[in-house]
Amino acid sequence: MFLRNTWYVACTPDEIADKPLGRRICNERMVFFRGPDGAVAALEDFCPHRGAPLSLGFVRDGQLVCGYHGLVMGAEGKCASMPGQRVGGFPSIRRFPAVERYGFIWVWPGDPALADPATIHHLEWADSPEWAHGGGLYHIHCDYRLMIDNLMDLTHETYVHASSIGQAEIEEAAPQTKVEGDSVVTSRFMENIMPPPFWAAALRGNGLADNVPCDRWQICRFTPPSHVMIEVGVAHAGRGGYHADAQHKASSIVVDFITPETDTSIWYFWGMARNFKPRDAQLTETIREGQGKIFGEDLEMLEAQQRNVLANPTRNLLKLNIDAGGVQSRRVLDRLIAEERQAAQAVQAVS
Amino acid sequence: MFLRNTWYVACTPDEIADKPLGRRICNERMVFFRGPDGAVAALEDFCPHRGAPLSLGFVRDGQLVCGYHGLVMGAEGKCASMPGQRVGGFPSIRRFPAVERYGFIWVWPGDPALADPATIHHLEWADSPEWAHGGGLYHIHCDYRLMIDNLMDLTHETYVHASSIGQAEIEEAAPQTKVEGDSVVTSRFMENIMPPPFWAAALRGNGLADNVPCDRWQICRFTPPSHVMIEVGVAHAGRGGYHADAQHKASSIVVDFITPETDTSIWYFWGMARNFKPRDAQLTETIREGQGKIFGEDLEMLEAQQRNVLANPTRNLLKLNIDAGGVQSRRVLDRLIAEERQAAQAVQAVS
Amino acid sequence: MFLRNTWYVACTPDEIADKPLGRRICNERMVFFRGPDGAVAALEDFCPHRGAPLSLGFVRDGQLVCGYHGLVMGAEGKCASMPGQRVGGFPSIRRFPAVERYGFIWVWPGDPALADPATIHHLEWADSPEWAHGGGLYHIHCDYRLMIDNLMDLTHETYVHASSIGQAEIEEAAPQTKVEGDSVVTSRFMENIMPPPFWAAALRGNGLADNVPCDRWQICRFTPPSHVMIEVGVAHAGRGGYHADAQHKASSIVVDFITPETDTSIWYFWGMARNFKPRDAQLTETIREGQGKIFGEDLEMLEAQQRNVLANPTRNLLKLNIDAGGVQSRRVLDRLIAEERQAAQAVQAVS
């Protein structure tokens, strides 16, 4: 169901600031903490002594001390010491490659030998002082692919987010979907429409007229394993739309990292990146609160959809043009998962 | 476990006044709403587009609009339209025959071709200005047949409802049970007893002496699939009991519609109908509150009984004379369910 | 998983003072109450009439009256009467031998023919005016053997109870474990250490200096089926340690009765017995509160350990010297459980 030889967002640095963090990812129970050099470490959340979760312990000098009987686990998954014990023969526990980058902790649930941090896509908005980013984390009981579907078809904004970013013109503008290697891009352009409340407020915030016709765009880009970046914005009509100058538009990147917890639950890291007023922390917080409310509206729907789909396992769903983004993203995933499985079997056949 | 070609009470009109209602009945997830002519409609609670529950959407012009991406579902289960889509080839969803009658919405979970609203028993108390009715709805985790047992053996009043309608004389009066076609009637008559608190209050409310010996009766009538109407009352002793004139008695009909949700849970529509002071809305509310408290006392017992029975699956229970009402009701149900199954198999064999 | 032909602590007398108590023990649903002579009785919590839990009823004249329809169950599990019924042919329900002793109600889940109250170990602290005892009950979701492990290796105090009874010197002193028949004793002696907060307070409470070096001891004794008594204390250094006179030490017995509820949950009766100031009820309460907080710290760890162990069923845990107490206790249990099974099979083969 999941790609394993890939990088997922596991947590944010503040989640491991004071103590280790236990989190299940792709059905693996992991513990995250900072090792001796401050670098992030991820291990199996299982003390080899009596099976207690190491995440209930504490970090001392970059090592994880089990909170039950004090076994000291090194950042590589090898027991470093234990009071009164010789630990040379203690079994190691699994280590998961983990790196900190772009303001997130990333983890590789698959074969450590294949993990290369260079394959994490460059995120310009996270790496530049010209950009600001704010966001949050939701735990949702749904298959991670239902969230990909959700984000690759923004038609739902008209219904789920009717009071903020939804408007009838979205569903009247047919989306275009194209596959670019392992990426899938679904774009929607609306011309000469009135901005919905969220965008009217954004225009106002930028000092622009908010009650004039605009062009609006949504460019959703899926990349494996389960990341969706969405370029969104409005520009005063006739100013070039997506290509308008900064003084005629308000735009952002909606950031979505979807990390499977189990087959039917996810850790959903949502956020918004913008390249205007990047040092305005109050604005970052205002946007974060507004986005948190809007994205919270999806939870009930996705969890109810998940229950309904589980209760009707043999039923085929429709695949309309508006679903093309999700359908193509699942095809990319199916292909990559099959390739990963074949490669693993080839390795087993050789050995 | 359930009869399917039959009418169950699904909900009350107020439950679909503002928005569609999702409710599971006989293990089917259904959505109830008012169609174009105001008539009630019941459909499978499953949008054929992406599987979202239609009950999370809204009603517009008698059609159900999916709250996820706006598919518009007609009251017959055929997709009427969807923004930007041609819907001619969309699969239909199941429609369940539904009618509004006697102040309730009724649904037929089985074969629509067999559904005939004329087979809903006439309920005089619901159809006449001489009567008033008040009631409520409880969700209980028990097999619907445990509730039938409960209502067809009112011996339990002495124990479960000791402070309101229970009294030792109930269990001292042996009940009589007779089967009349598909109906089962269990009657109990007590003579020359003091009225218990609930009935003493009812006598007082009717302007009658409440501290004098009375005759008391309970006539429980089961009709398939799972309805139990109970004629209950007291009359001053020596005035003819059940047949006494109105000025010497207080009487009512206890109304019980038991609708299976799953194998081990029910929607229990309880109420009381009376033919005295029918326009006294305050009295209706007072009775409703009192009955709600009394009937709430059964919940804990029935759910605990259900857990105990599930934990002891091979154990036979006793079938005493007081259980005859429940036992005979189950026999009627077993026979009708077997007939329904045979008829379905015969249809399959022909086709 | 459990010994059955043995005595477990089922409840305390106050739990059956006002009404019968339903409690599952060793996967058996039992009801406890006081019979006609005030002696405690334990029966299957199942009314043979309709399967209701008898524990929802009430006690009348030493008999249990079912709260549903009034069946009267005698203390031996034989139906005594039922209003309007002849009960001679009613099936009996299971009786479990039960006795009251040492301030607890004890139950024997196995073969009643083998039950002998004389086999309950003598508990001097419960039987003498020189001693006082206070304690409480926790419901914990873990295998009862995880709690035995916990109590037979007090190394965990350093980590789980760091702020009260833990100190680094515990883990520096290697424990000694010896098996004495069916008992297992693990002892740990620490010399010339500073008393941790709990013991410093106890010394102060005894009017002794609390900021001077002490000797400290912990002598854990496991006896089947799942009882652990721990002699604990401190004495001013150089006064003979464990053997010091009363005026130079503070000591107690930690009392632990672990009663399996299901395979993965327990009723944990914890307490402390002391032979100083035995009539000081305020002191008993102060100790009880302090112990309750400390023992509550184990809950989260044990339940998390249980979940982790269940999620990793094939994994072997380490068995270090500090685990010897738990390991040896499990060996005793495994041997006794095997003997119990063989004896039962021998009986079956004969009959």
> Which SS3 state, helix, strand or coil, does residue B307 take?
helix
Contact at CB, B321 and C49, closer than 8 angstroms: no
HSE-CB for B15 with a 13 A CA cutoff: 19
Backbone dihedral angles phi then psi of residue B327, each to the nearest 5 degrees? -60, -45
Query: Which segment of A103-112, A193-202, A216-225 scores lowest on mean pLDDT?
Result: A193-202
Closest Cβ opposite residue C68 in set B156, B172, B309: B156
- Using only C-alpha atoms, chain B has a radius of gyration, in whole angstroms, of 22
Confidence of residue B198 (pLDDT cuts 50, 70, 90): confident
Contact between residue A110 and residue A6 where contact means Cβ atoms under 8 Å apart = yes
Question: What are the CA-CA distances from residue C44 to residues C23, C33, C266 (Å)?
Answer: 10, 12, 19
User: What is the strand order of the sheet B98-101 is part of?
Assistant: B8-11, B104-107, B98-101
Contact at CB, B308 and C51, closer than 8 angstroms: yes
Chain B residues lying within 8 Å of C51, measured CB to CB: 305, 308-309, 312, 315, 317
Contact at CB, C305 and A51, closer than 8 angstroms: yes
Chain C residues lying within 8 Å of A84, measured CB to CB: 171-172, 174, 321-322
Model confidence pLDDT, tens digit, residues A287-329: 999 999 999 999 999 999 999 999 999 999 999 999 999 999 9
What's the rounded mean pLDDT across residues A70-78? 97
Contact at CB, A46 and C308, closer than 8 angstroms: yes
Contact at CB, B83 and A171, closer than 8 angstroms: yes
Chain A residues lying within 8 Å of C317, measured CB to CB: 48-51
For the CA atoms of C275, C278, C282, C288, the dihedral, rounded to the nearest 10 degrees, stands at 40
Distance of CA A346 to the CA centre of its chain: 31
Confidence (pLDDT) at A243: 94
Burial class (CB in 10 A: 0-12, 13-18, 19+), B241: buried
Q: Does A29 touch chain C (CB under 8 A)?
A: yes
- Nearest chain A Cα to C326, which residue? A50
User: Bridge-partner residues for B219, per DSSP?
Assistant: B187, B231
Confidence (pLDDT) at B151: 97
Q: How many CB pairs under 8 A join A and C?
A: 69
For the CA atoms of A41, A47, A52, A53, the dihedral, rounded to the nearest 10 degrees, stands at 10
Q: Show Cβ contacts of residue B69 under 8 Å, excluding neighbours closer than 6 positions.
A: A153, A155, A156, A158, A159, A171, A322, B49, B50, B52, B82
Contact at CB, B69 and A304, closer than 8 angstroms: no
Q: Show Cβ contacts of residue C289 under 8 Å, excluding neighbours closer than 6 positions.
A: none
Q: Does C67 touch chain B (CB under 8 A)?
A: yes
Confidence (pLDDT) at A166: 87
Which has more confidence, B99 or A84?
B99
Q: Where are the alpha helices (DSSP H) in chain C?
A: 144-152, 157-160, 168-172, 197-205, 281-311, 324-350
Q: Show Cβ contacts of residue C175 under 8 Å, excluding neighbours closer than 6 positions.
A: C153, C154, C155, C186, C187, C188, C321, C322, C324, C325
- Nearest chain B Cα to C72, which residue? B159
Chain A residues lying within 8 Å of B43, measured CB to CB: none
Which of C23, C50, C81, C87 is best to mutate for the B interface (most B CBs within 10 A)?
Answer: C50
Confidence (pLDDT) at A88: 94
Contact at CB, C308 and A29, closer than 8 angstroms: yes
HSE-CB for C151 with a 13 A CA cutoff: 31
Q: How many separate helices (H) and strands (E) can be counted in chain A?
A: 7, 18
Closest Cβ opposite residue A50 in set C300, C311, C317: C317
Question: What are the CA-CA distances from residue C53 to residues A204, B166, C105 (Å)?
Answer: 66, 20, 20
Tokens of C102: 């040492």
Closest Cβ opposite residue B159 in set C53, C68, C84: C68
Which of C145, C152, C190, C318 is best to mutate for the A interface (most A CBs within 10 A)?
Answer: C318
Q: Does B141 touch chain A (CB under 8 A)?
A: no
Model confidence pLDDT, tens digit, residues A209-244: 999 999 999 999 999 999 999 999 999 999 999 999
CA gap A226, A32 in Å, rounded: 21
What's the rounded mean pLDDT across residues B165-177? 89
Q: How far apart are the first and last CA of chain B?
A: 25
Closest Cβ opposite residue B46 in set A301, A308, A322: A308
- Nearest chain A Cα to B47, which residue? A317
Q: Does C315 touch chain A (CB under 8 A)?
A: yes
Which residue from B32, B35, B61 is spatially nearest to B44, judged by alpha carbons?
B32
Q: Does B67 touch chain A (CB under 8 A)?
A: yes
Question: What are the CA-CA distances from residue A203 to residues A208, A295, C297 (Å)?
Answer: 5, 21, 53
- Nearest chain A Cα to B44, which residue? A308
**Shortest alpha-carbon distance between residue C262 and chain B (Å):** 13
Is pTM beyond 0.80 here? Answer: yes
Q: Does C160 touch chain A (CB under 8 A)?
A: yes
Q: Is the pLDDT of residue B351 over 80?
A: no
Model confidence pLDDT, tens digit, residues B291-343: 999 999 999 999 999 999 999 999 999 999 999 999 999 999 999 999 999 99
What's the rounded mean pLDDT across residues B270-299? 93
Confidence (pLDDT) at B339: 97
> Which SS3 state, helix, strand or coil, does residue B282 take?
helix
Number of residues that this document lists for chain B: 351
Confidence (pLDDT) at A162: 87
CA gap B189, B219 in Å, rounded: 8
Q: Does B70 touch chain A (CB under 8 A)?
A: yes
Tokens of C304: 């998390």
DSSP A249-267: EEEEEEEEEEEEEETTEEE
Q: Does A171 touch chain B (CB under 8 A)?
A: yes
What's the rounded mean pLDDT across residues B254-261? 98
Which residue from C33, C125, C156, C104 is spatially nearest to C267, judged by alpha carbons?
C104
* Average of per-residue pLDDT values in chain B: 95
Model confidence pLDDT, tens digit, residues A111-145: 999 999 999 989 999 989 999 999 999 999 999 99
Q: Does B174 touch chain C (CB under 8 A)?
A: yes
Q: Which helix (H) or strand (E) holds C274?
A: strand C265-274
Query: Which chains form contacts with chain A, at 3 or more CB pairs under 8 Å?
Result: B, C
Q: Is the pLDDT of residue B172 over 90?
A: no
Which residue from A136, A147, A106 is spatially nearest to A265, judged by alpha carbons?
A147
Q: Is the pLDDT of residue B76 over 80?
A: yes
ipTM: 0.93
Closest Cβ opposite residue A172 in set B49, B56, B83: B83
Q: Show Cβ contacts of residue C109 under 8 Å, excluding neighbours closer than 6 positions.
A: C2, C4, C6, C8, C25, C26, C28, C96
Q: Does C308 touch chain A (CB under 8 A)?
A: yes
CA gap A96, A108 in Å, rounded: 6
Q: Is the pLDDT of residue B114 over 80?
A: yes
**Shortest alpha-carbon distance between residue B127 and chain C (Å):** 35
Contact at CB, B308 and C45, closer than 8 angstroms: yes
**Shortest alpha-carbon distance between residue A16 and chain C (Å):** 19
Contact at CB, C45 and B159, closer than 8 angstroms: no
Q: Does C311 touch chain A (CB under 8 A)?
A: yes
Confidence of residue B238 (pLDDT cuts 50, 70, 90): very high
Confidence (pLDDT) at C171: 86
Contact between residue C296 and residue C268 where contact means Cβ atoms under 8 Å apart = no
Instruction: Dump strand ranges (E) for chain B.
Output: 8-11, 21-25, 28-34, 40-44, 58-60, 63-65, 72-73, 79-81, 95-96, 98-101, 104-107, 132-140, 176-180, 183-193, 214-223, 227-236, 249-262, 265-274
Q: Is the pLDDT of residue B197 over 80?
A: yes
For chain C, list residues with pLDDT below 70: none
Q: Does C169 touch chain A (CB under 8 A)?
A: no
Closest Cβ opposite residue A52 in set C305, C315, C322: C305
Q: Does A52 touch chain C (CB under 8 A)?
A: yes
What's the rounded mean pLDDT across residues A149-161? 93
Contact at CB, C159 and A49, closer than 8 angstroms: no
Burial class (CB in 10 A: 0-12, 13-18, 19+), C265: middle
Contact at CB, A172 and B50, closer than 8 angstroms: no
Q: How far apart are the first and last CA of chain A?
A: 25
- Summarize chain A as % helix, strand, coil (round to 5): 30, 30, 35
Ordered domains of chain B (ranges, CATH): 8-119 (2.102.10.10), 126-337 (3.90.380.10)
Q: Which helix (H) or strand (E) holds C33?
A: strand C28-34
- Nearest chain C Cα to A28, which residue? C311
Tokens of B28: 């089917």
